[in-house]
């Protein structure tokens, strides 16, 4: 079963979000657009990054894709939500390994630095790639969870 995809973007990622929305719908995904609904030059990425991250954590079969100018700000915001593993995907290989190694559940795209074709390729690689489940990656993610609960130790 394909996951529901929650999308969000500020003005710098708006055009990319619109293209990704169309692409995902054409490929049979359920898409929930968390905004912005139209181009607003002075909107703020934290509003959309947080909304998407919260929905990813409350929907058992979901992933998120968020976009801002360089993807860093919206990625920082998404990672503030416990359980979210947001990763910046500036190319297909980085996006792929964010899934195999880090089990990322939110993909962050830099709207100002990717063509539509590049963004869609990155999205498809990210969606098609499962978590590897390798012991070393599971161990590392356990440490991430421990940090979140302030029980981390070496």
Select which of 5, 7, 24, 68 is catalytic: 68
Would you say 126 and 76 are in contact if contact means Cβ atoms under 8 Å apart? Answer: no
User: Which 3 state secondary structure label does DSSP give 138?
Assistant: helix
Distance CA 65, CA 57 (A): 13
Is residue 75 among the annotated active site residues? no
E strands of the chain, at which residues? 4-9, 31-33, 62-68, 86-88, 106-110
End-to-end CA distance of the chain: 38
Return the number of other C-beta atoms located less than 10 Å from residue 36's C-beta.
19
Q: Give me the active site residues, please.
A: 68
């Amino acid at each position: 079963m394909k996951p529901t995809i929650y999308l969000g973007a500020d003005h710098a990622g708006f055009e990319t979000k619109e293209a990704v929305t169309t692409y995902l719908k054409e490929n049979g995904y359920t898409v929930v657009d968390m905004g912005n609904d139209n181009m607003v030059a002075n909107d703020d990425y934290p509003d959309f990054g947080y909304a998407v991250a919260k929905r990813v954590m409350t929907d058992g079969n979901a992933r998120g894709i968020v976009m801002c100018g360089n993807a860093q700000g919206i990625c920082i915001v998404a990672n503030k939500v416990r359980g979210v593993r947001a990763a910046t995907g500036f190319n297909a290989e980085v996006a792929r390994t964010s899934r195999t190694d880090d089990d990322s559940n939110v993909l962050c795209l830099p709207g100002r630095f990717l063509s539509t074709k590049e963004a869609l390729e990155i999205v498809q690689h990210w969606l098609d790639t499962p978590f590897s489940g390798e012991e070393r990656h599971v161990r590392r993610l356990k440490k991430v969870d421990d940090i979140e609960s302030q029980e981390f130790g070496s």
